[in-house]
Structure 1
Amino acid sequence: MDEDPGLAPAPQAAGPQPAVLAPTAAQTSPEAPWPLRLYSENLKAHVERAPEAWIEGQLLEANIRNGHAYLTMRDVDVEYSLAVNVWSSVMRTLETRPEVGSRVVARVRPSFYLKTGRLSMNASDLRPVGLGDLLARLERLRQALQAEGLFDPARKKPLPVLPLCVGLITGRDSDAEKDVVRNATLRWPGVRFRVRNTAVQGVNCVPEVIAALRGLDADPEVDVIVIARGGGALEDLLPFSAEELVRAVAEADTPVVSAIGHEADRPILDDVADLRASTPTDAAKRIVPDLGEELQRLALARTRLDRSVRHFVEREGHRVESLRSRPVLAFPEQLVSRLAEDVERLRGRSLTAVRGALVRGADAVAHLRAQVRALSPQQTLDRGYAVVQRPDGAVVRDPAEAPAGTELSVRLARGRLSAVVLETASPTQEGTPA
């Protein structure tokens, strides 16, 4: 045994003893062992220093002899049991006698019986767990899990529209299994099941259901998992409110449907599951569609589609007839004739406009030509004037520019003349002949 500070050093006891006793249990050896008595007394002293504690469990045995009760309590979730003694002095203070199968809480202190080496618990108080206490505990757990967000609708996964394979966790040869399989098969004959039979109450329920759930969740062919159980007392349905099972369902990747008990039953599993079914039969109706209803819906949809197509064709036929009855389609040449008339009319207007523009342009040109001619030197010459030039081409404007004897060129309106200056006269002498 490992060294334990709770075991006191070995006392000196009467009777044959080794020369030197080991001071602690850890220091014993084959050559220097402790007497059984010494070890038992140390163990008793160590065990009975433990404080009192309240424990909860279910009574497997309840033997009452001579006013004393010798009980065996078992944990409600696992296969752990413990002997509990209720002495007559405590029994006289109890309101009810312990009964096998009842759920109780007891205030106990450990006791080690030296003669047999048996560890047991001495109870100083024993109380049955009532329905109100169970409901209060469940409500506290429900609120704690809800505060963590395990019941959040956003976490819930939608069920497949048509699951090909359904995982079913239920009791062996149970009515719940028969209800789910029969009703689901009647609704959709092609559905397949992977059934996992587990305990649905008692201490083995929670670990077996969790193991089955994880196995089905890991199966890629399973589209949805149903956990089903028929009705029962509140105590029978308690495993489906166990925190370990609730968390396992929350962690599953496959959608989980809870179908526990009847409509009035509501274990915590219903809150964390992706879908709550009021009964196993209701679960069968919720996980697969009804083939008859789907065929009726297909027939109705086909009828509606046929009616819609017919109405569409008729409507479009009326539109075609309406278009064909229009004059533009009944006599399409009218459109060409009307446009040809418009073209001819526009052509005549264009020719008229062009001719008018040409006439106006010709008049403007003639007017400009007349103005130019009126300003032309030739016009001046035509009136009898002449241009006198010297041999170098300079125009003679003053008699002083052409002295006598100067040869001149006289330009007339038509032709030229050559002349020689015989005499010049100043402007004051213009009145006298030259």
Structure 2
Amino acid sequence: MPLPSSPEQPQPLGRVIAAAAEWVNRLGEIWVEAEVVQIKRYQGATQFLTLRDKNGSVTADGTCSRLVLDQVGPLTDGTTVAARVKPRMWPKSAKFSLEVLELRVVGVGRLLAQLEQLKAKLRAEGLFESHHKRRLPFLPRAIGLVTGEGSAAERDVLATIAARWPDAHVEVRHSLVQGPDAAGQVMQRLAELDRHPGVDVIIIARGGGSLEDLLPFSDEGLVRAVAACRTPVISAIGHEPDTPIVDLVADFRAATPTAAAKAVVPDVSEQRQAVTADLARLRQSLLLRLGRAEADLDSLTTRPVMRDPIASFAVHVDQLAQWRRRLTTTIGRALADESRTVDHQLQRVRSMSPKATLERGYAILVDGEDRSITSVHDIDEGDDLLAYVADGTLILEARGVHEGRVPNQAREGSSGPLEREADHG
């Protein structure tokens, strides 16, 4: 019931707001469709978000628990959701808000959420890792192509390949590229080409489309089939805003079918130019090396040793002759010095020998038993003696023995004692 009021009896503002809040709170829970404009996540249990009507004319702030956001999965701004809400109005601030009790992604948003969940699953398995990507062959023997029959993608790929490398061979396999049966057919054609002994690379091509049209290329079975292929696979779906999952697992992603054809074969004209440039660089390099070799050879031939090979020997011959003269002189001096030393030593030896003593007039006396006589007490008067002199021996008889000092003549060496003794006899 409306509150009675008049200019004379107006209703208090607080009462009017309280009545409005009471009416709003009686609305209960209701499902609404809206677009998520903004999500504010906090550490606490209560989270905040803003919802907007699909036509964009009405927005409302709302709150929800952390559990509600976690259960809905990945949720981004712009996602369309179906929300179970309870409208609320706060009497103190007259502020209207929605208590979000449950969220469900609907429409395209639901599809995107499902695709994000599949991506997260496959990423966790490592299917998107770069080390799984294989290098494309430079010039494949045969190129496999899976595409729609008579499609623009087929024409673009074949025309581009023919223009770039006319001798290239393409194995074409037609398949559905849209609808519920498309993923299965693409998988079959992919398996056929993967078993083909001459196919070195496979292109899966489609000329773009809406998110719903491209769903077969995000099919989990097809994605896993591409990852399991022994042959390198190029994904050329041609849809930039929303990347199909097969793009992430393929060995090479091309933005368009034409780009895929450019990646799979080289441009023959560019290769000719490259070969021509390489030949020119090789020829120039060879000419430079030959020029340097000729210059080195000229430098060698102009050296004196090359003009007169034996000229250097003359210098060495002169040096050798000089060294021979020095060596001969040195050896002669050394021999002379050694000869003088030998003569000196020989003279010393001779001067110390008994023969030299005998030559100076001395004699050696021995008795009948050939024992040396060194004292007068060694003989008796009448003993026969033998005297060794320089030129022979003397047989003597001792007529007397005199003990005393040596005569002066013996000390001075004028005559030996044996000579004096012989005179006395």
TM-score under structure 1 length normalisation: 0.68
Measure how far apart 1:263 and its partner are: 4.0
1:296 aligns with 2:281: no
Instruction: Please state if 1:201 is matched with 2:174.
Output: no
- Paired residue secondary structure (1:427): coil
The verdict on how the C-alpha distance between 1:366 and 1:401 changes in structure 2, with shifts beyond 3 A counting, is same
Amino acid at match of 1:180: V
Match of 1:418 among 368, 392, 395: 395
Of residues 210-219 and 403-412 in structure 1, the stretch that sits farther from structure 2 once superposed is 403-412
Does structure 2 retain, via aligned residues, the 8 Å contact 1:405–1:422? yes
Aligned twin of 1:141:
118
Q: Distance in 2 between matches of 1:227 and 1:133?
A: 26
Equivalent residue for 1:55? Answer: none
1:31 matched residue in structure 2: none
State the alpha-carbon separation in 2 of the partners of residues 356 and 164 from structure 1. Answer: 92
| Deviation readout 1:35-54 (Å, 9 max, x if unpaired) | xxxxxxxxxxxxxxxxxxxx
Residue in structure 2 matching 1:383, options 351, 360, 383: 360
Deviation at 1:265, TM superposition (A): 4.9
CA spacing shift, 1:430–1:183, aligned 2, 3 Å: closer
Identify the match of residue 371 of structure 1 among 327, 348, 355.
348
- Alignment RMSD (CA, Å): 2.1
Match of 1:64 in 2: none
**What SS does the aligned partner of 1:231 have?**
coil
Distance 1:184 1:429 in 2: 141
- 1:407 partnered with 2:356: no
Distance between the aligned counterparts of 1:265 and 1:428, measured in 2? Answer: 148
Query: Secondary structure, in 3 states, of the residue corresponding to 1:226?
Result: strand
Whether contact under 8 Å (1:263, 1:279) holds in the other structure is no
Q: 3-state DSSP class of the match of 1:227?
A: strand
Between the aligned partners of 1:208 and 1:306, the Cα distance in structure 2 is 54
- Residues 263-272 or 177-186, more deviating: 263-272
Counterpart CA distance in 2 for 1:184 and 1:200 is: 21
Q: Of 124, 130, 152, which aligns to 2:107?
A: 130
Amino acid of the residue matched to residue 395 of structure 1?
S
Secondary structure of the 2:214 match is helix
The alignment partner of 1:173 has SS state of coil
1:140-193 Cα deviation digits (max 9, x unpaired):
221221121110000111111110101110011111111111111211122111
Q: Is the 8 A contact 2:164 2:265 kept in 1?
A: yes
Kindly provide the CA deviation profile for residues 218-240 of structure 1, in whole angstroms up to 9, marking residues without a partner as x.
22211001000112122111110
1:144 partner amino acid: K
Identity, in percent, stands at 42
**Inter-partner Cα distance in structure 2 for 1:354 and 1:192:** 94
State the secondary structure of the residue aligned to 2:171: strand
Alignment of 1:164-183 (within 5 A): 164-183=141-160
Residues 345-381 of structure 1: CA deviation (Å, up to 9, x unaligned): 1111111111111011001101101111121122221
The correspondence for 1:314, drawn from 267, 288, 291, is 291
Aligned with residue 168 of structure 2, among 191, 204, 207: 191
Distance 1:184 1:407 in 2: 144
Letter in 2 for 1:389: V
Tell me if structure 1 keeps the 8 A contact 2:105–2:113: no
The alignment partner of 2:266 has SS state of coil
Q: In the TM superposition, what whole-angstrom CA distance separates every residue of 1:199-253 from its partner, at most 9, and x where no partner exists?
A: 0000110110011111111222110010001121221111101111111111111
The one of 301, 315, 318 equivalent to 1:341 is 318
Give yes or no for contact 2:142–2:199 (8 Å, CA) kept in 1. yes
2:193, 2:199 within 8 Å by CA — same for their partners in 1?
Answer: yes
Q: Deviations over 1:284-332 (max 9, x none)?
A: 0001111111111111111111100110010111111112222222232
Amino acid at match of 2:268: L
Q: Find the counterpart in structure 2 of residue 214 from structure 1.
A: 191
Aligned to 2:69: none
- Residue 152 of structure 1 corresponds to 129
- Structure 1 residues 413 and 260, CA gap change in structure 2 (3 angstroms): same
Q: In structure 1, what is the Cα distance between the partners aligned to 2:260 and 2:331?
A: 94
| Structure 2 contact 203–236 (Cα < 8 Å) conserved | yes
Alignment deviations for residues 12-67 of structure 1 (CA, whole Å, 9 cap, x no partner):
xxxxxxxxxxxxxxxxxxxxxxxxxxxxxxxxxxxxxxxxxxxxxxxxxxxxxxxx
8 Å contact kept, 1:164–1:190: no
Where do 5+ consecutive residues of structure 2 fail to align? 1-81, 83-103, 409-420
Q: Give, in whole Å, the separation in 2 of the partners of 1:336 and 1:321.
A: 23
1:60 maps to: none
Match of 1:69 in 2: none
State how far apart, in whole Å, the 1-side matches of 2:303 and 2:331 are. 39
Q: Give unmatched runs, 5+ long, in structure 1.
A: 1-104, 106-126
Report the Cα distance in structure 1 between the residues aligned to 2:240 and 2:314, rounded to whole angstroms: 84
What whole-Å deviation, never above 9, does each CA across 1:386-419 have from its counterpart, x for those lacking one?
Answer: 1112232211112232222322221112222121
Counterpart of 2:305 in structure 1 is: 328
2:146–2:204 CA contact under 8 A, matched in 1: yes
Residue 243 of structure 2 aligns to a residue whose secondary structure is: coil
Pick aligned residue for 2:335 from 334, 337, 358: 358
C-alpha deviations, 1:243-273, integer Å up to 9, x for none?
A: 1111111111110000002444521111000
Q: What is residue 223 of structure 2 aligned with on the other side?
A: 246
Q: Distance in 1 between matches of 2:240 and 2:294?
A: 58
Distance 2:246 2:365 in 1: 137
Letter in 2 for 1:165: A
Mapped partners of 2:167, 2:395: distance in 1: 136
Deviations 1:66-120 (A, max 9, x none): xxxxxxxxxxxxxxxxxxxxxxxxxxxxxxxxxxxxxxx9xxxxxxxxxxxxxxx
Residue range with higher mean Cα deviation, 323-332 or 193-202: 323-332
Q: Which moved more, 1:228-237 or 1:397-406?
A: 397-406
